[in-house]
Amino acid sequence: MVDTMKIGATTYEVLPQTGFVLNDRGDALFGQQSYRSLEVRYTTDPPIQVQLKTLLHEAVHGMSDEYVWGIDETMAERIANGVYAFIRDNRELVTDILENG
Ligand SMILES: [Zn+2]
């Protein structure tokens, strides 16, 4: 898994951990992104697909901070799930973008 995640001009440290990630209110989460500490924490307990979706979800939160989207949790989940499925289902296009974009 990756050690860092770059979003625009910002680079986050990606930190795996066992057990849920707890937010400031003590809620148990699969992951959490912090613009304040530039860290993305995620749990390695669930299957790899859930971990990957979590990292993309946290990346969307990071994009919201970086590009001032101001989206809420529901919209972050919608965008992350949509982009995750698009990347997975369009490997050739994604490869073309990576090689030519
Ligand atoms: Zn979220």
Question: Global pTM?
Answer: 0.95
Interval 4-21: pLDDT, tens: 999 999 999 999 999 999
- Per-residue model confidence as pLDDT tens digits over 55-90: 999 999 999 999 999 999 999 999 999 999 999 999
> Measured in angstroms, how far is the CA atom of residue 57 from the centroid of ligand 1?
6
User: What pLDDT score does 56 carry?
Assistant: 98
Nearby residues of 51 by Cβ (< 8 Å), 6 or more positions away: 1, 30, 42, 43, 44
Stretch 38-45: mean pLDDT: 98
Structural domain harbouring 38: 4-100
Count the domains in the chain: 1
Q: Which residues contact 17 (CB under 8 A, 6 or more apart)?
A: 41, 42, 43, 44
What does the CA dihedral 48, 63, 78, 18 come to, rounded to 10 degrees?
30
Cα–ligand 1 centroid distance for 89 (angstroms): 23
Specify the pLDDT at position 29: 97
**CATH at 64:** 1.10.10
Distance 76 CA to ligand 1 centre (A): 6
pLDDT of residue 18: 98
**CA 66 to ligand 1 center in whole angstroms:** 15
- CA 51 remoteness from chain centre: 9
